């Protein structure tokens, strides 16, 4: 399904840890207007899924095991300029975050931020995305 056919926010989760991905899925139920369209463990898998699934938002692990989050973000934006990339990081490494933002990421959250904050940011990015379309 293309993003224009769905009112729900279409989200792809990219994180190397299965437990983290499962936690995000449990946190973001479809009843909140968020649809998890796919999961990826690595940056390369995420790139493939962005191309095939056309998510609205990618929740991207800042420490992808196979390539830098900035490189993956840049490539995602090349594949689909409309996708919004939100970096999730365990630490506030300013150089890493700055590199991701320069590559086109819409923002970042620390992995220990409040769960409600993630939902709010997803909806805000989706709303901003809808206004730009």
Domain of 63, CATH number, reads 3.40.50.2300
- pLDDT of amino acid 4: 45
Please give the pLDDT value at position 2: 47
* Domain count for the chain: 1
* Cα-Cα-Cα-Cα dihedral sign, residues 63, 64, 65, 70: negative
Q: Which residues of the chain have pLDDT under 50?
A: 1-4, 133
Q: Of the candidates 59, 65, 11, which has an alpha carbon nearest to the alpha carbon of residue 41? A: 65
Domain interval for residue 96: 3-132
Strand, helix or coil for residue 28: coil
pLDDT at 6: 56
Contacts of 41 (CB under 8 A, 6+ apart): 14, 15, 16, 18, 65
pTM: 0.89
- Check residue 31 and give its pLDDT: 65
């Amino acid at each position: 399904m293309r993003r224009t056919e769905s009112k729900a926010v279409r989200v792809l989760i990219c994180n190397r840890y299965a437990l983290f991905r499962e936690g995000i899925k449990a946190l973001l139920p479809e009843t909140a207007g968020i649809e998890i369209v796919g999961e990826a463990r690595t940056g390369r898998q995420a790139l493939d899924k962005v191309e095939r699934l056309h998510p609205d938002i990618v929740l991207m692990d800042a420490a992808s095991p196979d390539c830098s989050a900035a490189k993956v973000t840049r490539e995602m934006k090349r594949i689909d300029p409309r996708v919004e990339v939100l970096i999730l990081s365990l630490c506030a490494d300013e150089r890493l975050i700055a590199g991701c933002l320069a590559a086109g990421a819409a923002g970042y959250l620390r992995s220990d931020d409040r769960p409600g904050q993630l939902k709010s940011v997803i909806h805000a990015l989706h709303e901003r995305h809808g206004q730009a379309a």
